[in-house]
Chains A and B, each alone.
Chain A
Amino acid sequence: MTSSLLDPRPAAEAGAIHGQLASALPGGGLALSCHKLVEDAARCTVLLAPGLFRLDVHPVEDTLQVMARSLHARAVRFEVVDQDIVREYVPAEPYRLEWSIELPVEPPIRGRVSLAMTVDLGQGVAHFVAQAVLREASA
């Protein structure tokens, strides 16, 4: 059964310390949302879906690493569907990434994860907003 993976209660409990909101979607599914101020060089969790995945960010100077960690025995697949390329660097301009994700179980769980980052180099911090919408493929 995959429906238990989309139960918002474990995500709300596990994500509470991170300020993560977890709610049920009308018609079935799970919505996650979290925002954080992350210090330069810190690796920080910005989304936590127990039994599904964890999304970590690691801003270092002018670079960003994003680590999508599967928490399921079957690997959750992440695929970038949209990525801003900031041609003219503007410190206050947000950088955006969006992935489609799929957990290949029966029925599959599919959804989208988005991440926006705004960096303040003077303060040595980056602000992240992360969201996920997950549904059973048949829903």
Chain B
Amino acid sequence: MRRVALTLRADALEDVLDALMPLLPHGVYQRDMGGGRVEVAYYGDAAPTGAELDALAGAALLAREEEDVPDSREARRARVGHAWEVPGRLRVRSPLDAPGADGLPEIVIEPLEGAFGTGAHPTTRMTLELLLGLEPAGGFADLGCGVGLLAIVAARLGWDPVFAVDLEPRAVESARRNAERNGVEVRAVHADLLEVPPPPARTLAGNMPFYVHQRAAPALDAATEHVIASGVVADQATATAELYTGAGLTERARLTASGWAAIWLAR
């Protein structure tokens, strides 16, 4: 199967997709490359290549690679990225990825079938980036924990105690197993944050839908000093921040990527 990967100017992405998407019934795989660049890859022997592409993408096209690859759904998903890094700080990988040889600290995450997330989602990455900027102190709660990545990193960095909370029982089990795999103590619990308030931890990371933030923000414990609110699209970022500023916090930083947002707020 033919794989075509385009490196495009990020600011021209949607204009290029206007030309490309009608031609690609199986769609594209996007990957932020930093520096205002984005990779758009697609597969199929009938897909546009070469000069045809140059005409479609125009000046937005910075580079083009074409190769023959096996027809594998897992391989296509993997190339979007399971293993990833916060440069200089941390690498997150699956047990199938080879360990790095550079000594960078690693978290190994294995998704449990049926549980949400591999930890590679843009919202998780941005939340982790904000978390790495905080001073570890007191308790930490990972709300909407999925596979437990944020809780595991918090425990590794020194927050204590650390809670991982999710509505989905299989996610709770996945977080528990991944904490064991990484040798840290995380209390993974099943809870519906529409029914119960967030745990009274000093630092909360809520990687969850807007309607859950709507319920969680007014129920924050007075002991909570830092909140990283994520799991919302960029258009909802300001409304999400306002939920927490209404609860007495002040916005300190905001990240956006691939249409998603993460916000750090503090008392």
Contacts and interface: CB of A to CB of B under 8 A. Distances in A.
Nearest to A48: B22
B117 A61 contact: yes
B184 interface: no
Interface residues of B, number: 39
A124 B116 contact: no
Interface residues of A, number: 34
A88 B190 CA distance: 12
B27 A44 contact: yes
Interface in A91-139: 91, 121-122, 124-125
Interface string B164-182: 0001100000000000000
Given A41-B77, A42-B76, A43-B30, 20 more contacts: A17-B23, A18-B25, A43-B21, A44-B27, A45-B27, A48-B21, A54-B18, A54-B22, A56-B17, A61-B117, A62-B117, A63-B123, A67-B259, A69-B17, A88-B167, A89-B167, A89-B168, A121-B113, A121-B116, A125-B73
Q: What are the 9 A-B residue pairs with the smallest beta carbon separation, nearest first?
A: A44-B27, A62-B116, A42-B27, A41-B80, A45-B21, A61-B117, A18-B25, A17-B25, A43-B27
Interface of B: 14, 17-18, 21-30, 73-74, 76-77, 80, 113-118, 120-123, 146, 167-168, 192, 194, 209, 211, 231, 233, 259-260
6 contacts: A39-B73, A42-B28, A43-B29, A62-B116, A91-B114, A121-B113
